[in-house]
Each structure stands twice: as structure tokens, then as C-alpha cells.
């Protein structure tokens, strides 16, 4: 950094593909090509990773103050891929009542409160109704 007119600021960096990073942004030049260098602070306040991006990858660069850049960096910390995939997997395998379609997170109300599971795929509310319909086989 011998020249003072080079970019050297805390900034929020938005990349093509909706990735957002924040950190200390400086200009860099590798093999004669201009690149943007971003040093990303980790949770402990020290720089955790350094990445380089070409100008064509950058969607938006917003200079900001160090506290804001650090706050954004903490928020937009890249999550492991499994954390993104997990909710979708759970959605596909969610336990659901075969009669009314209620789920663990969306239970139906019974006079005794939210329903629970009477069988693997049958909630207590529907089980109670079934018992009312065929009330001559009282198993209790
Ligand atoms: Zn049900
Ligand atoms: Zn239910």
C-alpha cells in the first residue's frame, strides 16, 4: 500500500448470486489483473479469512464504518451447506396426521389442548373422533 488513493476501507460487498460479505476491503493486483481483496473478521474480532474477487463478480460495494462492517460480517457468516439443506429435508419427512394433515408444529386443538400422536400417522384428535364413530369397540 504505497499509494494513498487505493481503495482501503471497511465495506459491505455484495456478489453476483446474492452472497454478501463484509470486512476490510482493499485493492489488490494479481498477475496484472485488478482484484478486490476482502479480509473478513471472525467472531473473535480477528480476521478469519481473506478472499479475492474480480470486478465482474461484484454486484455492489458499499463503504461503511468498521463497527457496521463487523456487525454485517457476523450476521452473514457463511453457514455450512448442511444447515441450509436440513430444513428442506425435515420438511419432506415431516410427521403428518393421515386424516386431518396436522403436524407437530401445527397441531389441531382438542378439548384437552393441542393434539398429540395416537399412532404413527394419526393424531389424538382424529383418533378420538374415530372412537366416537365406532363407539361399540371400546378398548379402554
Ligand atoms: Zn388428525
Ligand atoms: Zn391433530
The whole-number pLDDT of residue 7 equals: 87
**Residue 79: its pLDDT value, please?**
52
Distance 85 CA to ligand 2 centre (A): 27
CA of 91 to the centre of ligand 1 (A): 18
The confidence score (pLDDT) of residue 83 equals 55
Provide the pLDDT for residue 81: 45
Residues 6+ apart with CB under 8 A from 77: 43
pTM of this structure:
0.51
Q: What is the 3-state secondary structure (H, E, C) of the chain?
A: CCCCCCCEEEEEEEECCCEEEEEEEEEEEECCEEEEEEEEECCCCCEEEEEEECHHHEEEEEECCHHHHHHHHHHCCCCCHHHHHHHHHHHHCCCECCCCCCECCECCEECCEECCEEECCEEHHHHHHHHHHCCCCCCC
Residue ranges in the chain modelled with pLDDT below 50 = 1, 80-82
CA of 87 to the centre of ligand 1 (A): 23
**How far, in Å, from the CA of 103 to the mean position of ligand 2?**
7
Domains of the chain: 8-79 (2.30.30), 93-133 (no CATH)
pLDDT value, residue 74: 83
- Report which bound ligand comes closest to the CA of 107: 2
State the distance from the centre of ligand 2 to the C-alpha of 100, rounded, in angstroms: 7
Cα torsion 46, 49, 54, 57: sign? negative
Amino acid at each position: 500500500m504505497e499509494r494513498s488513493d487505493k481503495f482501503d476501507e471497511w465495506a459491505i460487498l455484495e456478489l453476483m448470486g446474492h452472497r454478501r460479505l463484509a470486512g476490510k476491503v482493499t485493492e489488490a493486483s494479481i498477475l496484472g489483473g485488478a482484484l478486490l481483496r476482502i479480509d473478513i473478521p471472525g467472531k473473535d474480532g480477528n480476521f478469519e479469512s481473506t478472499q479475492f474477487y474480480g470486478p465482474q463478480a461484484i454486484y455492489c460495494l458499499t463503504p461503511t464504518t468498521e463497527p457496521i462492517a463487523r456487525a454485517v460480517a457476523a450476521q452473514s457468516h457463511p453457514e455450512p451447506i448442511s444447515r441450509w439443506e436440513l430444513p428442506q429435508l425435515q420438511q419432506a419427512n415431516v410427521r403428518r396426521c393421515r386424516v386431518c394433515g396436522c403436524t407437530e408444529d401445527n397441531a389441531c386443538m382438542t378439548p384437552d389442548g393441542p393434539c398429540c400422536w395416537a399412532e404413527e400417522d394419526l393424531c389424538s384428535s382424529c383418533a378420538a373422533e374415530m372412537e366416537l364413530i365406532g363407539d361399540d369397540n371400546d378398548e379402554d
